[in-house]
Structure 1
Amino acid sequence: MVEARISRRSLLMGGAAITAWAASPVSAMLRTIQPGRDAAAIDALIGQMTLEEKAGQLSLMASAWGGGVATTLNPAGDNGSFAAQIADAVAGKLTGVFNGNGAAMALQMQRAVISGSRLKIPVIFAADIIHGHRTIFPVPVAEAASFEPSLAERTARVAAFEAAGAGIDWTFAPMVDIARDQRWGRTMEGAGEDVLLGRQFAAARVRGFQGKSLSDADAMLACAKHFAAYGAAEAGLDYNSVDVSERTLRDVYLPPFKAAFDAGALSTMASFNEISGIPSNGNKWLMTDLLRGEWGFQGFVVSDYTGDEEMILAGFAKDRRDAARIAFLAGVDMSMKSGVYVEHLPGLVRDGLVPQALVDASVRRVLAIKARLGLFDNPFRRIDLKREKARSRLKTSLDLAREAAVKSIVLLKNDGNLLPLAPTARIALIGPFANAKTDLNGPWVVYGDNAQAINLATGLTEGMAGRGSLAVVAGSGVDKPLAGGIEAAVAAARNADVVVLEIGESENMSGEAQSRDEITVPAPQQALAEALAATGKPLVIVLKNGRALALEGAVKAAPAIVVGWFLGSEGGRALTDVLLGKASPSGRLPMSFPIASGQEPFHYDRKATGRPNPSGDLLPYKTHYRGIPNEALYPFGHGLTFGDIVYSNLAQNSPAMAWDGSLEISATIANRGRREAEEVVQLYVHDRVATVTQPIRELKAFRKIRLPAGASEVVSFKLRREDLLFIGTALKLTVEPGTFDVWIAPSAQADGVHGTFDLSAA
């Protein structure tokens, strides 16, 4: 029976548990352990453990007492009762639980383990803190649109502050998978299609989650996931196979992981997919040879939810025992949810199929990180019922959520300067999300509450402050029409000066297991847009989305289009800030919006091929689909401001870069508009001839600048030979002398200003 309320007696017992822990021999032995010091104390503890207890330290379970929507995201299945799970923890059969019910749950379990277990090894509490705990920030791909890694570091810091206050030691984030097929639902969890942006946001989020020290009471262990190449799943289908070359792995999919580890991430999660026929959970080259051998990773690897066991149905393991053997020998330290390690690892060791030394090494890694988290010093470090509430949804946190949401919004189109709208206008706000109480926070929110989030109707009502008028009509369901909905929407539009139509995806259309075969606006909403466009009233499209969309018909033709994403707690207010001009849009697309769904997978840094279509008309026998060019409708890096931004005057300090030197490249960026604007200035390079063909463009640097109306600024970048490296024929980083194109431009498809330089030989 779950204790839903924490009584005074329970609190006193918690205090007794702390006292018992402080006096225990294990505490005396381990509480002073610091990274790289006193490893002998951990070895001494391992020497006291049975094989069953060691397997328990390598086994993680979903909490039987789940928090929020945790039981929907991760069904409890055979978890049994919370009391039974506590008994397992006391018996040493598990290392911790995830997605539990906050500090109340953690207090009961940790108290029982410290009071009653044989070795009193603290359990670890984990959770999916993907884009916020109680304060919800924009989904990660939206936040990447800010092109401000420091913003992601700040939001991750607040997420850790709140979550650690609720007893959470470890988050299953950041997701650092590069996503180049927008049909894949988990696009929303990452930073988009670009490697440089992915690397910078991966490192920033790790720094934010982990803070100054893992032992701090407001820090959480980060977990870079999903290792590796999950974003390359065939056809964008979740859990599907991946077949990429080692060169592509090293060039595209591995660098964000390396950036996360270099930033201090000490856990990583094995991906569900296979790579070239070998499941990641059973891939020794990936998990041991590369990760530990080549990269020197010192943390631990955890399987994804039953990922090790799933090698059976994949045809790689014959049964659960075989799956445990394969995964463990490959280098997966910890098994999540399947239970195969606690069931079979001791027997595999006794039968000589798994060396005990390897088991000890994995246990050592897990215990060392528990020590770094400060759990051996104080197992209740992050468990405090008063602190949990006191840290939740502070004004400063909500202010940051609003700032992050504003900076995530992307203005795709603004014909005739339709935006910003006057707060005195008669606005018809239409669409299934306009006044919704759901679909506000976005996918993968375990502890947030949509009821506390601000929708657009609320935001506009506040922002207009009684000026003008606001009529709110749903007009359609998300994927089903409403009886009389279009008629009511058209009537509202005819009585308005302008129509704001909020359409797109519901929360359950993005995220895990939400791959889409067509990434278009659902048909009933598209029909609504067509009817509203026919009224002739100015139409502003506000998209709710967790991926790039293929826009069609009246949506594509609308004079103004805003990418509104899933913006979290303050989304409605942030959208209002931009729509009414209180804030200038500054977001840029972290992935390309294709002309049609059938172009996917699509990414800006593709290869030219031997038959590129020249600029102009589509020619036969060239690289393009029938009737459409091989380019994006809205490319990576695209986004407009309320200013009028002009690029000019490319300058280089030399026509050539010395092998061990650098090259300075600059351009003048001017705002000829009447409003202040923020511009993301982007530097792209193309290696014309190489022993491995190179992308048509690659982002090498970017800067975000603020330009008052009428102002200009010279923006400079410095390129070095290291910025031009690629994975060569020997599968090692290399670069070769030759000629390079360079652009300083507002997007991956824009000309901006263009020049060339030569890299001299050594």
Structure 2
Amino acid sequence: MLNRICGLLLFLGLLMVGTCVSAQLPIESYKNPQLPVEQRVADLLFRMTVEEKVGQLLCPLGWEMYEIRGETVTVSDKFKQLMKERHVGMLWATYRADPWTKKTLENGLNPALAAKAGNALQKYVMENTRLGIPIFLAEEAPHGHMAIGATVFPTGIGMAATWSPQLINEVGNAIGKEIRLQGGHISYGPVLDLTRDPRWSRVEETFGEDPVLTGGIGKAMVEGLGGGNLSQPYSTLATLKHFLAYGISESGQNGNPSFVGICELHENFLPPFRQAIDAGALSVMTSYNSMDGIPCTVNHSLLTGLLKNDWKFKGFVVSDLYSIEGIHQSHFVASTMEEAAIMALSAGVDVDLGGDAYMNIMNAVNTGRISNAVLDASVARVLRLKFEMGLFENPYVIPEKAKKEVRNDAHIALARKVAQASITLLKNDCSLLPLNKNISKVALIGPNADNCYNMLGDYTAPQEEKNVKTVLDGIRNKLSRFQVEYAKGCSIRDTLASDIEQAIAVSRRSEVIIAVVGGSSARDFKTSYKETGAAIADEKTISDMECGEGFDRATLSLLGKQKELLQVLKATGKPLIVVYIEGRPLDKTWADENADALLTAYYPGQEGGNAIADVLFGDYNPAGRLPLTVPRSVGQIPIYYNKKAPQNHDYVELSASPLYAFGYGLSYTTFEYSDLCVSSISPHSFEVSFKVKNTGKYDGEEVSQLYLRDEYASVVQPLKQLKHFERFYLKRGEVKEVKFVLSESDFALVDRDLRTVVEPGTFQIMVGSASDDIRLQTKVEIK
């Protein structure tokens, strides 16, 4: 017994000694959450090899890094090899599913499996790598997380058509939550490219042509995505695309050079990015184009001089996919891939999307062609954000929560609300709309009347059909099955796949015709894709796709037999309502002249069919406004409302005016403006107030817009520039006083020395409901 007691005492003593020794052993500072982030970053950097540092800057493609086995997900051998050889710090598009990735509803990840995949990847790197650095998962999210089971909102151009930052803030919040629930961290979007050429294939992703509207919508989206507060559970690193002037490429060709002056960059193209960065965006993506002979991916003055030094940007810069390779292979300004990598990193590109080019950085550092300090600066930017997001402490998510809350009822309702708000009524002769639900029969005709994928736009994952509401679905929810008859009539592009005779027969049996035409960005397995994911347009492929990345147009006309279809429908003599589903402003001259009612719904997302039906049958009064100018002809391009003086003059054979102006959109009701008042707050600040009255028969929303013109300035100025806008609801007969404050920044210009200054002079104040529908005007003097 005594021996047992002595043995127990000896064991307890040794245990206490061991505990004391353990308590005194130093732990790595970077693993201590109580220490400041900068101290943790410095400690981790000190411990890393060159190879491990470079690995943090690599962002290879992620969809081959997991394997699904029933209800479990494990890491793939390819991922294990990748970590062993490259020590990668992040993955791109791990959850992405589309024809390019060959991930389908059958072999892709649903939200629960996505969360499990993210957990498996994190567990492997935390437990099987030397330093246990968690990885970032970057995901495409321009109008919803591009993953199976996520909510699909209207594309960017549709969101901009709402002219409602408040609504888009809610969208950002929903997108961020769905990404984080599934284990993602970085959201690619919003797209802040200003677009002035509708031939360009990516118009649908943008917020239009104007810096103020784009900046306001972009800021709201970034704040909804978390506003840079990474300690919040659903905050993502918003990645702004694309830096810079990518949307005005020569000939409308994606990735072509952009020709733009330095003052123009500072006046129009940079402000939306600055506004979004000030709102908390922590990642900026470079663009494929060059400016003045310098590829944007190696533009040191933009990426380092302006972005990091002048703007004090604290996030990281990421290349567009393989754009570093493009320095060598497309732009031909680097003779080797190593030279291209050195140029990009030296210019300020922190992360290599694609992950192959920066593998050359190790040799460049070891041979002294680039310094350790340059490498460390970029690595520190990435590590700091991982610490701020708390990934070192908890990189895992809860699969059951993802299953329950991704694409929840509230997000679906929001998708419908945004789609409703985006729909833009362009024509409504004799108040044909809204339709009476007691109508005897509606003929629903057209290639976009019942095609779920044509509702969604590019950067969309495969969908279960029940998740997407087409126009036919929406109208059937309003009417009995005896009141609506459908015929496709023709395809978007394929001239062989048509049955116009059936469409005529259906139309003749109806009281009114609703024709749904336009375009499509729906990717399919018949289309070929570049390694960047851009589609390849060729004569062999006759899919519906005529828009979306890589599908630039030479014309804007309806393709296939769509115009012929509209003409024969008009010939029936029945009232004709034309609905455009489109990713760019297609030619609407025939519809403008011949349709009784005309509207565009852009790509309205998964609830678009319900939203369109809501508008057609009066359950929602449309208030969308055009976020870009609709030309009469491609011969007018580029055409945009805020062009600099002088005023355009007519062509020999065509008016210089657009078919529909920026900011235009009709309502089922009417609004009257009155009582414009301007009062001085300070020498460079004024309050502008006016009254708006709903004078029509319906409750509805108006979008009031305030424009300025500097009458005489030291540099040429726009003839009209939007400065403020507000969307608001008024009941029949209701009056609202609207107030805007014009601040010093509203009157400022960029002078010849690139200084932002306010010059003395006279400014016209113009208030109205569109850029060409000014209701009230006055002038102020700046002294």
* Structure 1 Cα separation of the partners of residues 293 and 184 of structure 2: 36
Equivalent position amino acid for 2:449 in 1: A
Question: 1:106 aligned to 2:118?
Answer: yes
Report what 1:454 is aligned to. 469
Tell me how far 1:664 sits from its aligned partner: 2.9
Q: TM (normalized to structure 2)?
A: 0.87
Equivalent position amino acid for 1:115 in 2: E
Equivalent position amino acid for 1:517 in 2: A
The residue correspondences of 1:600-639 to structure 2 (distance < 5 A) are: 600-609=637-646, 612=647, 623-639=649-665
Report what 1:244 is aligned to. 260
Q: TM (normalized to structure 1)?
A: 0.89
The residue correspondences of 1:634-645 to structure 2 (distance < 5 A) are: 634-645=660-671
Report what 1:318 is aligned to. 335
* Structure 1 Cα separation of the partners of residues 218 and 191 of structure 2: 8
* Structure 1 Cα separation of the partners of residues 46 and 462 of structure 2: 39
Tell me how far 1:483 sits from its aligned partner: 5.7
SS at 2:514 equivalent = strand
SS at 2:41 equivalent = helix
Equivalent position amino acid for 1:444 in 2: Y
Report what 2:458 is aligned to. 443
Gaps of 5+ in 1: 1-23, 69-80, 614-622
For the Cα contact (< 8 Å) 2:191–2:241, is it kept in 1? yes
* Structure 2 Cα separation of the partners of residues 29 and 363 of structure 1: 14
**Which of 711, 714, 724 does residue 747 from structure 2 map onto?**
724
For the Cα contact (< 8 Å) 2:578–2:591, is it kept in 1? no
Q: Deviations over 1:188-207 (max 9, x none)?
A: 11210111111111111111
* Structure 2 Cα separation of the partners of residues 153 and 636 of structure 1: 23
The residue correspondences of 1:703-742 to structure 2 (distance < 5 A) are: 703-742=726-765
SS at 2:770 equivalent = coil
* Structure 2 Cα separation of the partners of residues 84 and 441 of structure 1: 32
SS at 1:55 equivalent = helix
Q: Deviations over 1:290-348 (max 9, x none)?
A: 11111111111111100001111211111111111111111101111141212x11111
For the Cα contact (< 8 Å) 2:196–2:638, is it kept in 1? yes
Report what 1:65 is aligned to. 64
Question: 1:407 aligned to 2:421?
Answer: yes
Report what 2:19 is aligned to. none
For the Cα contact (< 8 Å) 2:29–2:40, is it kept in 1? no
Report what 2:72 is aligned to. none
Aligned residues: 705
Tell me how far 1:741 sits from its aligned partner: 1.5
The residue correspondences of 1:123-522 to structure 2 (distance < 5 A) are: 123-133=135-145, 134-210=150-226, 213-313=229-329, 314-342=331-359, 344-380=360-396, 383-425=397-439, 426-446=441-461, 449=464, 452-465=467-480, 469-481=483-495, 485-507=499-521, 508-522=545-559
For the Cα contact (< 8 Å) 1:230–1:271, is it kept in 2? yes
Report what 1:97 is aligned to. 91
Question: 1:677 aligned to 2:700?
Answer: yes
For the Cα contact (< 8 Å) 2:228–2:237, is it kept in 1? no
Tell me how far 1:433 sits from its aligned partner: 1.4
Q: Deviations over 1:566-606 (max 9, x none)?
A: 11111111111111000110111111111112212211001
The residue correspondences of 1:741-756 to structure 2 (distance < 5 A) are: 741-756=764-779
* Structure 2 Cα separation of the partners of residues 26 and 459 of structure 1: 61
Equivalent position amino acid for 2:737 in 1: V
Tell me how far 1:559 sits from its aligned partner: 1.7
* Structure 2 Cα separation of the partners of residues 462 and 691 of structure 1: 59
CA 1:639–1:181: 2 relative to 1, 3 Å: same
* Structure 2 Cα separation of the partners of residues 378 and 530 of structure 1: 61
**Which of 612, 624, 640 does residue 575 from structure 1 map onto?**
612
* Structure 1 Cα separation of the partners of residues 632 and 444 of structure 2: 27
Between 1:518-527 and 1:148-157, the stretch displaced more is 518-527
Equivalent position amino acid for 1:148 in 2: S
Between 1:231-240 and 1:683-692, the stretch displaced more is 231-240
For the Cα contact (< 8 Å) 2:228–2:281, is it kept in 1? no
Tell me how far 1:645 sits from its aligned partner: 2.0
Tell me how far 1:50 sits from its aligned partner: 0.9
Equivalent position amino acid for 1:563 in 2: T
For the Cα contact (< 8 Å) 2:750–2:757, is it kept in 1? yes
Tell me how far 1:103 sits from its aligned partner: 2.2
CA 1:492–1:555: 2 relative to 1, 3 Å: farther
Q: Percent of counterpart pairs with the same letter?
A: 33
Tell me how far 1:502 sits from its aligned partner: 0.5
SS at 1:105 equivalent = helix
* Structure 1 Cα separation of the partners of residues 119 and 28 of structure 2: 18
Q: Deviations over 1:404-463 (max 9, x none)?
A: 110011111111101001112111000011122321222111365555211010110011
CA 1:25–1:364: 2 relative to 1, 3 Å: farther
Tell me how far 1:723 sits from its aligned partner: 1.0
Equivalent position amino acid for 2:434 in 1: P
Q: Deviations over 1:268-288 (max 9, x none)?
A: 111111111100111111111
CA 1:162–1:25: 2 relative to 1, 3 Å: farther
For the Cα contact (< 8 Å) 1:66–1:99, is it kept in 2? no
Report what 1:74 is aligned to. none
Tell me how far 1:231 sits from its aligned partner: 1.3
CA 1:708–1:264: 2 relative to 1, 3 Å: same
Question: 1:665 aligned to 2:688?
Answer: yes
For the Cα contact (< 8 Å) 1:141–1:189, is it kept in 2? yes
For the Cα contact (< 8 Å) 1:177–1:230, is it kept in 2? yes
* Structure 2 Cα separation of the partners of residues 191 and 288 of structure 1: 26
For the Cα contact (< 8 Å) 1:114–1:120, is it kept in 2? yes
CA 1:197–1:26: 2 relative to 1, 3 Å: farther
SS at 2:674 equivalent = strand
Equivalent position amino acid for 1:700 in 2: K
Q: Deviations over 1:724-751 (max 9, x none)?
A: 1111111111121111212111101113
* Structure 1 Cα separation of the partners of residues 207 and 26 of structure 2: 46
* Structure 1 Cα separation of the partners of residues 603 and 383 of structure 2: 37
* Structure 2 Cα separation of the partners of residues 406 and 254 of structure 1: 30
CA 1:500–1:148: 2 relative to 1, 3 Å: same
* Structure 2 Cα separation of the partners of residues 387 and 651 of structure 1: 53
For the Cα contact (< 8 Å) 2:181–2:234, is it kept in 1? yes
* Structure 1 Cα separation of the partners of residues 399 and 632 of structure 2: 51
Equivalent position amino acid for 2:30 in 1: M
Report what 1:651 is aligned to. 677
Gaps of 5+ in 2: 1-24, 68-74, 96-113, 522-544
**Which of 89, 112, 130 does residue 118 from structure 1 map onto?**
130
* Structure 1 Cα separation of the partners of residues 52 and 627 of structure 2: 45
Equivalent position amino acid for 2:443 in 1: A
Question: 1:88 aligned to 2:82?
Answer: yes
For the Cα contact (< 8 Å) 2:253–2:552, is it kept in 1? yes
Equivalent position amino acid for 2:77 in 1: A
CA 1:352–1:753: 2 relative to 1, 3 Å: same
* Structure 2 Cα separation of the partners of residues 723 and 462 of structure 1: 47
Question: 1:546 aligned to 2:583?
Answer: yes
Between 1:627-636 and 1:493-502, the stretch displaced more is 627-636
